[in-house]
Every structure is written in structure tokens, then in C-alpha cells.
Chains A and B, each alone.
Chain A
Amino acid sequence: MGLSPDEKREAFEKEAIPYLDTVYRVALRLAGDSTQADDLTQETMLKAYKAWHQYKQGTNVRAWLLTILRHTFINEYRREKSRGITVDVTEFEQFTVFHDVQEVDPEGRFFDKIVDDEVVRAIDQLPEEFRECLVLSDIADLSYAEIATVMKVPVGTVKSRLFRARQALQRVLYDYAVEAGYIKRSVR
């Protein structure tokens, strides 16, 4: 039996609206600019409301909202134009930044000196499929299985993209920290 309009509004307000900030943060990192992120967020929430009868009660509403967001982004917002410099995620070996800093700062305290804006700028430099994985994990707090469902890729792909995205991000932020004088570059 379907919900009455009042019940639908109440359910959506209680279950979906609390994730508005998560939807907005993911939209920002996918779209890369705030005007598009505003439109993408609004469109996602309106589509989700219209499709609320398709949401399976008891499943992860955050993953459901982000599936709608991603679908909307890919079909209506993504541009093939370059977003500027992207990092080559293939060049990273295992834990290279740790190897660089293990003698001087093995706990990675220099990261704490880096401001939020610099971190999101570095995330934005990741190639899209790696950025998506990182954002769905570290901003939206989805599990590997949920990310796999949202992105329609195997869990193993999520695991490897997430690892490489984090290693690339570490390298970009480490290079930034060296340039900003937060840590001295060590010679390996």
C-alpha cells in the first residue's frame, strides 16, 4: 500500500533530508564548482522525493541518494572538458610517502598543518573514477560493497581505486607540505 502525501513528506523529511549535507559535499567534489553542485544537489533531492516509493525501507538511504546523484551527474552534468591538471595515479608504489617521512615525521603530523581548502583542491586533482571512490568512502562513509553498487564496479576495483586514490592524495599533499615549508623533503 502506498503512502499518503503527508506520510511521504514525513518519511522523506525524517530519512532523506538528514543526508542533505552529504549529498551536497559529494556533489561539490563531482561537479567541481559550486553553481553546478547547487543544481546537482537540488535535482538529486527532487528526483529522490519523486522516486521515494522505489526506496526499499531498511536499506541504506545514503547509498540510494548517492546513486541518484551519480546517475544525474553522469547523464546531465559531466563535461568531457578537462578539469585542469590531474594526478597520475598509476605512478604510485606502496606507501611511498611513509617511506619518505619515516625518519622525520612517522606519525604524519605535518598533514595537520594543511588547511581544508588545500585538501579538497588535492581531491579535485584526482582522475574522476578515483575521486568518486575516495569521496564515496571518505566523505559519504559508504562501505566498499555500497560503493561498488553505486559505481557499478566489482568490490575489488573499489579496493584498488581507493588505495591508489589515497596514495596519490598523500603524495600531492606531501609535495604541498614540502613547498609550504611544513616538512623538509627527505632524500630516499
Chain B
Amino acid sequence: MTSEPMQIDCKEAAKRLHELIDGELTPETEAVIRQHLRDCARCMAVYEFEEAFCRFVKIKAKGQTTPADLKERILKELGLSASPRSE
């Protein structure tokens, strides 16, 4: 018995766009959503806008680093060396 390939409409695709952007879908569902995006210019435009926004937020919100004096205080408190690897 062969199962019918999963089909989705624009409403369902819209509900899953952020899961797609965040890499949270199973490979099967991701393939179905991506196929819908290839077939639907409107959904693709929304996806590209949302994807660009998420990328923008991730970059802008990660601008701050731990102040040097705080880092030094923590390392000293823990008895660790002053220059460990950072992210």
C-alpha cells in the first residue's frame, strides 16, 4: 500500500513557517513545506520576510559581551585562569 504524499494549503504552511526557519520540522514535513513555497509565490514572499527578520533579531540582540571586569571577577571567584576560550 502506498500513501498519498502530504499536501498542505497556505494556511497550514503559514502556521509552520517559523518552525521551518528554526529548523524544528522533521525532514518529511520540511520537504512538504518547501515544495509548497516553491509552488506559491505569496507564501515564499512571507517566508523570506520572516526569515530575514529572524536573522536580523539574532544578530542585533547578540551585540553585548560580558564586561571585562565582571568576567575577571567571576574567573577569580572560581579560581580559574584569566583568559579561557570564549564562544
A36 at the interface (CB under 8 A from B): no
Contact, CB under 8 Å: B63 / A116: yes
- Contact of A95 with B by CB under 8 A: yes
Chain B contact-residue range equals 35 or more
CA distance A135 to B77 in the complex (A): 27
Query: Which A-B residue pairs are the 9 nearest by beta carbons?
Result: A119-B60, A116-B63, A24-B66, A17-B84, A98-B49, A111-B56, A116-B60, A138-B58, A108-B52
Pick from A68-76, A82-90, A163-171, A179-187 the stretch touching chain B: A163-171
Residues of B within 8 A of A112 (CB): 56
Q: Residue on A with the closest CB to B69?
A: A38
The answer to the question of B85 belonging to the interface, with a C-beta cut-off of 8 Å to chain A, is yes
B43 shortest CB reach to chain A, Å: 10
Q: Which of A21-72 contact B (CB under 8 A)?
A: 21-22, 24-25, 28-29, 38, 41-42, 45-46, 49
A25 CA to B60 CA in the complex, in Å?
A: 12
**Chain A residues in the interface with B (C-beta under 8 A):** 9, 12-14, 17-22, 24-25, 28-29, 38, 41-42, 45-46, 49, 94-95, 97-98, 101-102, 106-108, 111-112, 114-116, 119-120, 123, 134-135, 137-139, 141, 143-144, 159, 162-163, 166, 169-170
Closest residue on chain B to residue A118 by CB atoms: B60
A41's contact among B14, B63, B70, B81, by CB below 8 Å, is which? B70
A182 to chain B, nearest CB (A): 13
Tell whether, in the assembled complex, residue B54 and residue A21 are in contact, meaning their CB atoms are under 8 Å apart. no
Q: Which of B48, B52, B65, B79 contacts A111 (CB 8 A)?
A: B52
Q: How far is the CA of A13 from the CA of B48 in the complex (A)?
A: 39
**Do B61 and A13 touch across chains, with their CB atoms under 8 A apart?**
no
B contact residues around A120 at 8 Å (CB): 60-61, 63-64
Residues from chain B with Cβ under 8 Å of A119 in the complex: 56-57, 60-61
Chain B residues, CB < 8 A from A141: 58
Whether B61 lies near A98 (C-beta < 8 A) is: no
A144/B24 in contact, CB under 8 A? yes
> CA–CA, A101 to B73, complex, Å?
47
A-B pairs with beta carbons under 8 Å apart, 27 shown: A9-B80, A12-B78, A17-B85, A18-B87, A20-B86, A24-B64, A24-B65, A38-B67, A38-B70, A41-B70, A41-B74, A42-B73, A46-B78, A95-B46, A95-B50, A97-B49, A101-B49, A106-B49, A107-B49, A107-B52, A116-B61, A119-B61, A120-B60, A138-B57, A139-B58, A144-B22, A170-B53
